[in-house]
Amino acid sequence: MEFISYSGHLVAQLRDACTRVGFFYIKDHGVPQATTDAIFDTAKLFFDQDLETKNEIHYKKSSILRGYEPTGEVRTDATKKVDLNEAFNCGYEPDLDSQHRADKTGTSAPARSAMQGPNAWPTQPEFKIGVAAYYGDVLALARRLVRLFAKALGLSAEFFDSVVTHPGAMLRLLRYPAQDRTQPDALGIGAHTDIECFTILAQGREPALQILQVDGDWIEAPPVHGTFVVNIGDMLARWSNDTFISTVHRVLNVTGQERYSVPFFFGPNYDTVLHPLKTCIAEGEVAKYDPVVAGDYVYQRLAKSRLGKQEAEVKQFPQTVIA
């Protein structure tokens, strides 16, 4: 899909992809290839450090689960088998936001939520500089994309603008070891759906992303140079009352090579209350989901795959009261 305008043809293509598959590729997206190449270099430099250095920003030191995730500590799949990857996670900061930097007045501070807090950065300043360059460009793309999603849902292009001023936008750097072809159950990331509204994924050279079809077969979504893979997440499925579908996917890296990927998970401001849109509830139907506060929803989902039950209860924030 060429990302060029809000034309009726493009909006129709987008709606078709979001209601039937939940995944699509975009090109002509405005993010320079040099910026994408550079974030993979940044990821490699970070992961090539010794474990002791990386563990200085271990995610369990963060109240909002940001920082470094060693291999084998996260269990995404419902079977609770460990994921074979290591990761670095960071979220929204005003100085990562090119729109905020261009606006000298900035935006109002977000309300306190379960996911509000600082990132965990390595001591090397060049790492944050490299991440910020990519984060800012992809965040700008996400804000353009969310306008297209609004149009595809029959809303005004500006419908979501007021709830993505300081969005719940998480960037992950991921490195997967080569997996043994004789052990297909040893997954880089187990079968799951994404949490936020949508994901913008930059893939490395090695094909490993697999999407679950309605007939139960897995199909590959191979890397295509100059494109991103975009998929709908659970928040937008809830918001649209399942008009848009959030599709199960996984990572199985049996290429014999290390694999890198950089997903960018885009959701609304963490204090946003998600009610199924009235325009997505047909006459005679009811809302399929109860309202949720975005930050609470994200924290609960992340804690479920990263913390034991007792540990999650100790760290759990009080849920935001929905008026």
How many C-beta neighbours within 10 Å does residue 102 have? 7
Domains and CATH numbers, the chain: 8-313 (2.60.120.330)
Dist CA 305 CA 77 (whole Å): 8
Dist CA 133 CA 36 (whole Å): 9
pLDDT at 105 (0 to 100) = 44
pTM, to two decimals: 0.91
Summarised one tens digit per residue, pLDDT across range 204-221 is: 999 999 999 988 999 999
Q: Would the CA dihedral through 151, 31, 249, 77 be positive or negative?
A: negative
pLDDT at 212 (0 to 100) = 96
pLDDT at 36 (0 to 100) = 97
What's the per-residue H, E or C state across the chain? Answer: CECCCCCHHHHHHHHHHHHHCCEEEEECCCCCHHHHHHHHHHHHHHHCCCHHHHHHHEHHHCCCCCEEECCCCCCCCCCCCCCCCEEEEECCCHHHCHHHHHCCCCCCCCCCCCCCCCCCCCCCHHHHHHHHHHHHHHHHHHHHHHHHHHHHCCCCCCCCHHHCCCEEEEEEEEEECCCCCCCCCCCCEEEECCCCCEEEEEECCCCCEEEECCCCCEEECCCCCCCEEEEECHHHHHHCCCCCCCCCEEECCCCCCCEEEEEEEEEEECCCEECCCHHHCCCCCCCCCCCEEHHHHHHHHHHHHHCCHHHHHHHCCCCCCCC
Average pLDDT, the chain: 88
Cβ-count burial 118-153 (b if 16+ within 10 Å, e if not): ebbbbeeeebbebbbbbbbbbbbbbbebbbbbbbbb
Dist CA 160 CA 139 (whole Å): 14
Per-residue pLDDT of the chain (323 residues; tens, 9 = 90+): 544 456 788 999 999 999 999 999 999 999 999 999 999 999 999 999 999 999 999 999 998 889 999 998 888 877 778 889 999 999 999 999 977 655 544 454 555 566 878 999 999 899 999 999 999 999 999 999 999 999 999 999 999 999 999 999 999 999 999 887 777 667 899 999 999 999 999 999 999 999 999 889 999 999 999 999 999 999 999 999 999 999 999 999 988 899 999 999 999 999 999 999 999 998 888 899 999 999 999 988 888 777 755 454 544 444 554 54
Q: 169 exposed, middle or buried (CB, 10 Å; 0-12, 13-18, 19+)?
A: buried
Q: Which residues touch 2 (CB under 8 Å, ≥6 apart)?
A: 10, 26, 27, 28
